[in-house]
Structure 1
Amino acid sequence: MDSCPEFGKDPRIIKTFLYQILRGIAYCHSHRVLHRDLKPQNLLIDPRTNALKLADFGLARAFGIPVRTFTHEVVTLWYRAPEILLGSRHYSTPVDVWSVGCIFAEMVNQRPLFPGDSEIDELFKIFRILGTPNEDTWPGVTSLPDFKSAFPKWPAKNLATVVPNLESAGIDLLSKMLCMDPSKRITARSALEHEYLKDIGFV
């Protein structure tokens, strides 16, 4: 996807790509596989047909119920879910949905949403936009290994001001994909049914 810089100028193509990413991830999740390293570099696009394929399953892992304990060091920093950044070793499919949300915003803005240069910088870039989480917004967050009570307390911004070129239905879907509490984050399958993707047409 890195080699297709023009696609962000056409909202229909963004919608088509997002649908294909979500469909691929929903398929993985239905077969109990986490990708865990979703980023633009791992999305292969055929410029003739706009067909998209997920690539590089090097970090992929099978998962079961209950969620398994996985390594901390997964997902390129800019697309890494906050539960991983905060040290959770028990995570599941929501980490992939978070990554897709970051890619979605990047397709629209034509630049990364959370371009952190360290784990703490990444967290703070997320907090500055989505607000610093607390027990009200994310029950259990203060018990995660790397959560600090001294974290700055940033208020959440309106996502429509952060991704200004995205229509209201897209903002709604993005907000559900970038929900900090993974237990409340939309699933890939539910995202496919969202209003934003109702008029999907391949271009």
Structure 2
Amino acid sequence: MEKTGVLSAKEAFEKLEKVGEGTYGKVYRAREKATGKIVALKKTHLHEDEEGVPPTTLREISILLLNVSQGLNKEGKTVLYLVFEYMDTDLKKYIRSFHFSVILTLWYRAPEVLLGATHYSMAVDMWSVACIFAELVTKQARFPGDSELQQLLHIFRLLGTPNEEMWPGVSKLMNWYEYPQWNPQNLSTAVPNLDELGLDLLSQMLKYEPSKRISAKKAMEHPYFGDLDKSLL
């Protein structure tokens, strides 16, 4: 039989190691011989009783826009090779790491953001600074929520459930509901290692109403930083 100019997968790629296996095939880390490029090579068997390429494989090709080569193995069964970019991590691990990073940033998110405000200011950053400030003192996260609702409840338990008197307009925010009612606690119970000046600064950074929250400039002028050489800043 006359040989065509198209290389088979075995001729074009060198398998380096198997990195995954599922119901419909195996995935290898492979090297493209012509370029030396590392790729992911998925080998899928098409059984004789199947009429053409399975729908699941066609969907995968259409989604990933892969380069496809097809050949026969020594048993005479049709084998489909899918060649695509090699990633150091799989989707499951990526989603887990992304979820973890989202949870972490959730701990420092301002209440106006959690409650669905569509317009917010630099005050959201001061809230985050306050959370980090308290964490540096206590060596643990102050509001370690694992969802937006849990995050709000952590905040409300310490600072009290907000109302229109302490935060005008809060009940009109998109994510506002009838939350459990808590009275504000003394910050010294939550951050016992912080002195009086530090507690005052922290309380000003944790004001519910964003416009009342202390600015970064004013925070640096706070007496808590009175012995700081500001010429170094």
TM-score, normalised with respect to structure 2: 0.54
| Residues 103, 146 of structure 2: 8 Å contact kept | no
For 1:92, the equivalent position in structure 2 comes to 121
- Where relative contact order (Cα < 8 A, 6+ residues apart) is larger, the structure is 1
Cα offset, 1:183, TM superposition: 1.0
Deviation at 1:180, TM superposition (A): 1.1
1:82 partnered with 2:111: yes
Answer yes or no: is 1:129 the counterpart of 2:158.
Answer: yes
Indicate the residue corresponding to 1:4 in structure 2. none
Measure the CA separation in 2 of the matches of 1:127 and 1:185.
Answer: 17
The residue number in structure 1 matching 2:191 is: 163
| CA spacing shift, 1:74–1:91, aligned 2, 3 Å | farther
In structure 2, list runs of 5 or more residues that go unmatched.
Answer: 1-101
Q: Is the 8 Å Cα contact of residues 103 and 147 (structure 2) preserved in structure 1?
A: no
Match of 2:137 among 89, 108, 111: 108
1:197 matched to 2:207: no
Q: Distance between the aligned counterparts of 1:155 and 1:141, measured in 2? A: 17
Q: Could you say what secondary structure the match of 2:188 adopts?
A: helix
Cα 1:74–1:163, aligned 2, differ >3 Å: closer, same or farther? closer
Q: Distance in 2 between matches of 1:74 and 1:108?
A: 21
Identity %: 57
- Structure 1 residues 159 and 81, CA gap change in structure 2 (3 angstroms): same
- 4+ long deviations beyond 2 Å: none
The alignment partner of 2:135 has SS state of helix
Checking the alignment, whether the CA contact within 8 Å between 1:132 and 1:155 is kept in structure 2 is yes
Q: Secondary structure at the match of 1:115?
A: coil
Q: Could you give the per-residue CA deviations for residues 100-126 of structure 1, whole angstroms, max 9, x where no partner exists?
A: 000000000000000000000000000
- Kindly provide the amino acid, as one letter, of the partner of residue 199 in structure 2: I
Residue in 1 aligned with 2:93? none
> Contact 1:86–1:144 (CA<8 Å) still a contact in 2?
yes
Q: In the alignment, which of 198, 201, 205 is matched to residue 177 of structure 1?
A: 205
* Distance in 2 (alpha carbons) for counterparts of 1:200 and 1:167: 16
2:171 equivalent in structure 1: 142
Which structure has more strand as a fraction of its residues? 2
Which structure has the greater CA radius of gyration?
Answer: 2
What SS does structure 2 have at the residue aligned with 1:76? helix
The alpha-carbon distance between structure 1 residues 108 and 196, as it changes in their structure 2 partners (threshold 3 A), is same
User: Which amino acid in 2 is paired with 1:184?
Assistant: K
Query: TM-score w.r.t. structure 1 length?
Result: 0.61
Q: Which residue of 1 aligns with 2:43?
A: none
The Cα of 1:75 is off from its aligned counterpart by 8.3
